[in-house]
Chain A
Amino acid sequence: MIQINQLHKKFGKLIVLDGLDLDINSGGIFAILGPNGSGKTTLIKSILGMVIPNSGEIKINDQSVLKKWEYRNKINYLPQIANFPANLSVKELIAMVKNLRPKESNDSDLIKLFSLEPFLDKKLGNLSGGTKQKVNIILTFMFDSELIILDEPTTGLDPISLIHLKEIIQNEKSKGKTILITTHIMSFVEEVADEIVFLLDGEIYFKGSTKNLKLQTNQPDLEHAIAHLMQKDNV
């Protein structure tokens, strides 16, 4: 579904992506992990067209996405930091995003699920971090797209909302969607991910199931396995 070939990106003198190759099949939940500065966010932003790579190719469903923008209609994206304009209300923001996408949306069900009805008329600048994250999630999942990219989706969520989020993710997976998640929370990865893609120094160092990772690094749990990978001498 996603084919990435020899992706290079540097910011000034700092090389962030160094000839990255990645193939992701459609259907399934992929956790993108790696130490800070390994290029996770740059990789995701390149797929979304927010970062422009120096060289390399990114294809979704066999079509190049570089310099294009319509393909973004098939992607749902949850950004890591949800900063919305403070003087819009929740209702207005949702209406605005709906306007931008020529698609059907499912916002009313999601609003009920996350109990956001009392907040619909409140200004976004007055909401707590957790509530803003719920709005963020609604904006992401209210459309039906084949590719879903989530950047640290669990931030600020209370336990009930976390359960709902996991349910939504599994629901989307059962519909055959492809879901990419970046996160540092290993328990979340363990529960939810089918495959792990581990980035180090701008390249893919490991791609496979959680089970394989534990076997390969000879560690009892995911946290230690990832920590093991992060110590470069062991790779």
Chain B
Amino acid sequence: MRSRWSYVYFAFYLALGFVLLFLNNDINKAIITLLNIIIVLTPLIGTIFGVMYYYNSKEFTELLLAQPIKRSKIFMGQFLGISISLTLSLALGLGIPFLLYGLFKSSAIFDFALLLVVGSLLNFIFVALAFNIALSNVNKIKGFGYAILMWLFLAVIYDGLFLISLVMFNEYPLDQFSLLATMFNPIDLSRILILLKLDISALLGYTGAVFKKFFGTNFGLIISFSVMILWIALPVWRINTKLKKKDF
């Protein structure tokens, strides 16, 4: 929490929240805009913070490793520390302007809650992924590079590939494939969840209808959240496994 960057991040969200609301004066619209930004931004910040923190505290971690503590406790502590700190910055940074603009009076409160939940989940997911990459790469530059590549891939390239495959395989029924493909990218998953909640899914045409049928139901929602949790759990499990064999 002492880190200056947390405050910068917090201030950024604060400013963003206020500006959007000032320009729009409509909570709903502001939330939609924010959602689009958050979906791409939280993973990026989570990745960068995760990698930077890991490499910066490397020597201190070695001091901790010589103490009578379990290795997993050390790294889980770091992981949770960053993720929670980022989540707090997000929640407070956005929460305060929205509250001041009368969030509680608006029906949009559930959408806002979804915004925060999704943002937080993405924080945790990408910090976990960043840690995984940092743990596997002693070379800081390589590690940082891979982490950014990973973010780029999931945020941008994945969608490109997905669209291309949709176009190429146009004749085939693609609903199952689309559903499955969404599971493999937490960013897309979040995007879909949010779009559906906000009922803009009509814009997606047939695919939108399929998604709505699946995700719109409670069953779909539960599955989505489970997959997001899985996206956190698997990297965390891999971190712990790697830790058992790693030399410091």
Contacts and interface: CB of A to CB of B under 8 A. Distances in A.
Interface of A: 11, 45, 48-52, 67, 69-73, 75, 77, 79, 81-85, 87, 97, 100-101
B66 A84 contact: no
A48 B68 contact: no
Contacts of A101: 67-68
B246 interface: yes
Range class of the B interface residue count: 20 to 34
B63 interface: yes
B53 to A, nearest CB: 11
Contact of A50 (B57, B70, B247): B247
A77 B64 CA distance: 11
9 contacts: A45-B247, A50-B247, A52-B245, A69-B71, A73-B68, A79-B62, A82-B63, A83-B59, A101-B67
B63 A70 contact: no
A132 to B, nearest CB: 11
Contacts of A70: 68
B70 A69 contact: yes
Given A79-B62, A83-B59, A84-B60, A100 B247 contact: no
B147 to A, nearest CB: 22
Nearest to B70: A69
B247 A83 contact: no
Contacts of B3: 87
A50 B67 contact: no
A79 B63 contact: yes
B69 interface: yes
B2 A87 contact: yes
A69 B59 CA distance: 19
Interface string B220-248: 00000000000000000000000011111
B65 interface: yes
Nearest to A97: B67
Contact of B68 (A45, A67, A71, A81): A71
A11 B247 contact: yes
Interface in B25-53: none
Contacts of A48: 65-66
Contacts of B71: 69
B247 A72 contact: no
Contacts of A81: 59
A85 B57 contact: yes
B248 A50 contact: yes
Interface string B145-166: 0000000000000000000000
Contacts of A97: 67
B60 A45 contact: no
A115 B24 CA distance: 61
Nearest to A50: B248
A71 B67 CA distance: 9
Residue of A50, A71, A75 ringed by the most chain B CB atoms within 10 A: A50
Nearest to A88: B2
A154 to B, nearest CB: 19
Residue of B2, B59, B63 ringed by the most chain A CB atoms within 10 A: B63
Given A45-B248, A50-B247, A83 B69 contact: no
Contacts of A82: 63
Contacts of B57: 85
Given A50-B247, A70-B68, A87-B3, 17 more contacts: A45-B247, A50-B65, A50-B66, A50-B248, A52-B247, A69-B68, A71-B68, A72-B68, A77-B66, A79-B66, A84-B59, A84-B63, A85-B57, A97-B67, A100-B67, A100-B68, A101-B68
A48 B247 CA distance: 11
B1 to A, nearest CB: 11
B70 to A, nearest CB: 5
Given A50-B247, A51-B247, A83 B60 contact: yes
A101 B69 CA distance: 9
B220 to A, nearest CB: 43
4 closest A-B pairs (Cβ-Cβ)?
A83-B59, A73-B68, A72-B68, A77-B66
A100 B66 contact: no
A83 B60 CA distance: 6
A119 B64 CA distance: 22
